[in-house]
Structure 1
Amino acid sequence: MTDTIREQAATPPTLAEMQHWTWVLGRAQQMMLEFGIDMVKQAASQAPAAPMPGFPDMGGFARTQADFWSDSLKLWQRFIAPESAEPVIEDPRHAKDRRFSAPQWRDNPMFDLVRQSYLLISDHLLKSVDAIDGIDARQKERVRFATRGLLDAMSPSNFALTNPLVLEKTIETQGQNLLKGLEHMLRDIGKGQVTHTDPQAYELGRNIATTPGKVVKETPLYQLIQYEPTTKHVLAAPLVIFPPWINRFYILDLNPEKSFIRWAVEQGISVFVVSWKSADASMKDVVWDDYVVRGQIDAIDTVRDLLDVKSVHTIGYCVAGTTLAATLAYLSARGEADKVKSATFFTAQVDFSRSGELNLFVDDEQLALIESLSSEGFLDGRYMAATFNLLRGRDLIWNYVQNNYLLGQDYAPFDLLHWNGDTTNLPAKWHKAYLTELYRDNKLVQPGAISIAGTPIELKRIATPAYVQAGREDHIAPMESVWKITEHLTGPVRFVLAGSGHIAGVVNPPSAGKYQYWTNESAVESLAAFVDGAAETAGSWWPDWLGWLTAQSADTVPAKGGRMPGKGKLPAIEDAPGSYVKRR
């Protein structure tokens, strides 16, 4: 008897046996759904005609639940008696759901039931959230975000027994996929971060961040990189790029084909990039003023002095774009606005009234959590990485649970995801103040509400020509939020809406021939009006930006002397990409 049990345990179950247990799970789910019908009918009949003051209106919620049970019974009828059931009309959104793109999810009736049941539950739960009245919009959005996150986590694609691909792979490999996946998962637990790509595939300076240049200045806050010109003449006004310090600068220098930095150099621009230091205990007192004065303005003055020019072009990406706006307001208040010839904003926000889902993470509980995680004066970058991953959990978390934990697949090399996982620590004081004063209290757009180095600033004083780029599918800096910068600047503004999101909308070289962008030459006062009258252009917006930049000043000078890294007043310290970008 014991030998028989051992033999059965050592023999892998067949696909048919696993499918049987999947059917059992599906039937158990259906029994619970049917049990809830009477409860929902009861709730619907007892729901008050009008909500009590101070309480949410649950009547709409009850009605959506009744619809849910009705649709559930129809689904079950299609499964047990397909000949008499109503024809299936699938939501077009579900057809594009990559979690269920494999034919096994539809070809096998059991897994088709599991798939359709899950999608039905998901749709109705989200509708139920939308149907609750009597709570403020922010609270409803928090509930919706949490519900969506829970639904993504509970997808049948995330569990071995309800994923046909995993079942087939387990039988094929006799469970080796699960062992390999467990190895991946334990490694990720050990490092406290989800792995997205082959960790050995890239090395800074070898096959990523390879544009030739030199570090010509180093401070406790940043390194300044000057890139080698590739043209005989360059624009007289140099370009200083400020990447966000919540990520590494080489998002703009991933590889020769994708590199905005290399492309800008090839267009005859003298390019400088600030590489921020990843925060450590020595930066516990660093605040926003430091990034403005000791960071951006110091870099601007350094380049002006090195090349003996009156003004520079600037680019600020994301949080560095927000800071660039504060820098321009500070310079304007001090009568020094002419130090900056133009300002370009990549997916940057200054008015946080429409800041999207990231604003859901700004409350007393989250601020207390951040403070508890910052006992040494800085916030571990893995916390921010996890936050951004949660915003796109289906793509950046659960996709890897299926492929690399359950299926045991090897990680594919992907430079963008390598950069995404290369986390940067943040100064705790700065981070908390940024969340409270900007995201929560929206002080930057309030005249005089924020002071830099003792000087009150006001965005309305900024008359510097500005190029504002937003991403149509940006989930970190929504286009509605980025647009609002145009309402606070008084100088000439060119707004461009790029296809894709926060990263791909920016990193889109002309050679790729991908996406599109929209422009509107008319004077419009809202994003909706901009979109209604916008002209679409296929491909990258980079050439449009270049045309705008050279229109500010087309004067050129020979690419020699101080235009060559290390050949002017500032000797070369080390080769690009420098050492700060490699510090953890």
Structure 2
Amino acid sequence: MTRMSVPNVKTSIDRAIHAVEGRMTNGLSPASIMVAYFDWLVHMAHSPGKIGEMSENFARKTMDFNIWAARATMDPEIPDFIQPLPEDRRFRAEEWKQFPFNVLAQGFLLKEQWWHYATMGIPGVSKHHESMVSFGARQWLDIISPTNFFATNPQVLKTTMEQGGQNLVKGAENYWNEVMRNITDEHNAAESEFQVGKNLACTKGKVVYRNRLVELLQYEPTTKKVDAEPILIVPAWIMKYYILDLSQYNSLVKYLVDQGHTVFMLSWHNPTEKDRDLTMEDYVSQGVMECLKAVTTIVPDKKVHGVGYCLGGTLLTIAAAAMARDNDDRFKTITLFTTQTDFSEAGELMLFIDESQISYMEDMMWDQGYLDTKQMSGAFQLLRSFDLIWSKMVSEYLLGEQPRVNDLMSWNADATRMPYKMHTEYLRRLFLNNDLSAGRFEVGGKPIAISDIRTPIFAVATGKDHVAPWKSVYKIHQIVDTDVTFVLTNGGHNAGIVNEPGHPRRHYQIATKLDNDKFVPPQEWAERQDVVEGSWWEPWQEWLVKNSSGKVNPPSLGTPKGDYAPICDAPGTYVFEE
């Protein structure tokens, strides 16, 4: 054995150990977590002033709370001791206003408040570690919330009395059924109501191009005339494309086609171990650029409206910047849905991004060639633990309600894998190093700059986005030298985008910053803009028309023969890959 081969063997052993550990921790690095808590504990121990403040705060708050609790036993109308955050829905029901449940709820909120104070503002603790420790405290507190237990949840007790305990019997059945589904890897029976090609992803069209990475779908026109410039949609590859073509009533694709647009959509291949060496540049060249070539061949002599969603929007931005560098002007406009281009403030997802965590995840992916869907879902569930874990447990196991499934939830369960090399590059070059906004990201061996993009941009952000926080999406104003129309809509990362006209309780804010306008900070922007009731789809569609060159006859589906002759009907074959 040579001296050079020894480190490789040792590295392989380390990676194998980390890969096995990762399967038990859902991809979370124990070292990253331990370092964060050690940083907090050491600096806490060296901050006697902070400890004194915490002790004083605890004693004073406890005394005040005990006085309030004594009054609450006699007065159900007493104002809350602690006001929950606006997004906290756990204790809104009337049952929580009655003693002793009002005291239980307020006592729990007091614990949350104190632990937030205890984990934040410790001198010397890094911002990243401080956020991790505070987040971890919230996760543990969520576990012991009185909403999660039979004896301390008044809604569960009331339902149990009314149903004679049948809710608990149904809850046991729901629990057992879920255990069996996890063992057998079968889908929820309710999810079978939603099937791709039948009532999901069923807008008519053809697959007009296919390579090892993508299928390109072209949708049939439904109007006699269409806008001259076609639309090319680049969805995220972390999930199946049909988030934008759900049921017929909320399909963005169908809406665009019915408004007289020619629409193309990428459908990504679900990577396997054989695709471990696919890179970010492969996703740009074999994905965006090859499909753009197909679109401009099928619809010749016309520019293209590029549309990207989440990671797909970041990829579209990379492609557009590379094209701008090379004087390629085939994009007429660019639309970005919940897309980050500067990752310096990427929200709570950054809790899972540091050198230790990425190195750990690399070892997991090295072992199997990709990041598995279950390993990805763990982090996203923690970000929305109440919605995705605890409220589900209470409603299905304690209240005995049938699992609620709709088209969006069915799509959400249809995740895809991430190839080893591409995902490593994505995490390191974008999240960890922020190379894209800094002008260090390379395509074709040369760096690109987003500021080179001169085509008009329409950017959409959602107010309750845990994946791409709206203030992070807003940074596009500071990066590009072109006109930016920005929309802030209510809803989350997905529900805010699936925002069909007629949907109740939808509203948005919109404004355009011209290239020469001064920058307005995000919070000031939100305070300035009027709230408009309805769907942002409508002003976006008007913006597309405004940036088009008139109506023409619809193009054929693909080309009669050659590289872009129709291959099969939409939704194609890649969408069915498991």
Q: Same fold (TM over 0.5)?
A: yes
Contact persistence 2:80–2:106 (CA under 8 A): no
Residue 546 (structure 1) shift: 1.6
Q: 1:559 to 1:88 in 2, by over 3 A?
A: closer
Amino acid aligned to 1:550: V
Contact persistence 1:381–1:424 (CA under 8 A): yes
Alignment partner for residue 485 of structure 1, among 451, 476, 484? 476
CA distance in 1, matches of 2:547, 2:283: 26
Contact persistence 1:51–1:134 (CA under 8 A): no
The one-character-per-residue Cα deviations of 1:120-168 (angstroms, maximum 9, x if unpaired) are 2222222332353442332222222111122212212222333344445
Q: Structure 1 residue 341 and structure 2 residue 332: aligned? A: yes
Q: Structure 1 residue 434 and structure 2 residue 429: aligned? A: no
Contact persistence 2:203–2:254 (CA under 8 A): yes
Q: Which residue is 1:237 aligned to?
A: 229
Q: Which residue is 1:137 aligned to?
A: 127
The one-character-per-residue Cα deviations of 1:14-70 (angstroms, maximum 9, x if unpaired) are xxxxxxxxxxxxxxxxxxxxxxxxxxxxxxxxxxxx999799943433333223422
Residue 289 (structure 1) shift: 0.3
1:52-91 alignment, distance < 5 Å:
57-78=50-71, 82=74, 87-91=78-82
Residue 378 (structure 1) shift: 0.7
1:481-520 alignment, distance < 5 Å:
481-520=472-511
Q: Structure 1 residue 579 and structure 2 residue 573: aligned? A: yes
Contact persistence 2:340–2:473 (CA under 8 A): yes
Amino acid aligned to 2:195: E
Structure with larger Rg:
1
Amino acid aligned to 1:527: P
SS in 1 for 2:475: helix
SS in 2 for 1:520: strand
Alignment partner for residue 525 of structure 2, among 530, 535, 549? 530
SS in 2 for 1:93: coil
CA distance in 1, matches of 2:228, 2:87: 49
CA distance in 2, matches of 1:96, 1:502: 15
Q: 1:577 to 1:311 in 2, by over 3 A?
A: same
Q: 1:341 to 1:96 in 2, by over 3 A?
A: closer
The one-character-per-residue Cα deviations of 1:254-299 (angstroms, maximum 9, x if unpaired) are 1111111100001111000000011111210011101111110111
SS in 2 for 1:505: coil
Q: Structure 1 residue 553 and structure 2 residue 548: aligned? A: yes
Amino acid aligned to 1:519: I
CA distance in 1, matches of 2:189, 2:559: 36
SS in 2 for 1:510: coil
CA distance in 2, matches of 1:481, 1:243: 19
1:123-134 alignment, distance < 5 Å:
123-134=113-124
The one-character-per-residue Cα deviations of 1:510-563 (angstroms, maximum 9, x if unpaired) are 232542221235634032342233233211111211222122223222125x2x
Alignment partner for residue 305 of structure 1, among 297, 309, 313? 297
Residue 470 (structure 1) shift: 1.3
Gapped regions of structure 2 (runs ≥ 5): 1-42
1:264-275 alignment, distance < 5 Å:
264-275=256-267
Amino acid aligned to 1:578: G
Q: Which stretch shifts more, 236-245 or 198-207?
A: 198-207
Residue 386 (structure 1) shift: 2.2
The alignment-based identity, stated in percent, is 33
Contact persistence 2:484–2:512 (CA under 8 A): no
Matched residue pairs, number?
527
Q: Which residue is 1:15 aligned to?
A: none
CA distance in 1, matches of 2:525, 2:86: 31
CA distance in 1, matches of 2:461, 2:396: 33
CA distance in 1, matches of 2:238, 2:484: 27
Residue 112 (structure 1) shift: 3.4
* Higher RCO by CA contacts (8 Å cutoff, separation 6 or greater): 2
Amino acid aligned to 1:340: F
Q: Structure 1 residue 246 and structure 2 residue 241: aligned? A: no
Q: Structure 1 residue 150 and structure 2 residue 143: aligned? A: no
Amino acid aligned to 2:147: S
CA distance in 2, matches of 1:75, 1:529: 38
Q: Which residue is 1:475 aligned to?
A: 466
Amino acid aligned to 1:480: K
Amino acid aligned to 1:511: G
Contact persistence 1:333–1:455 (CA under 8 A): no
Q: TM-score of the superposition, structure 1-length normalised? A: 0.84
Q: Which residue is 1:414 aligned to?
A: 406
CA distance in 2, matches of 1:544, 1:379: 38
CA distance in 2, matches of 1:126, 1:565: 57
1:195-234 alignment, distance < 5 Å:
198-234=190-226
CA distance in 1, matches of 2:233, 2:85: 41
1:349-498 alignment, distance < 5 Å:
349-374=340-365, 375-447=367-439, 449-498=440-489
SS in 2 for 1:357: helix
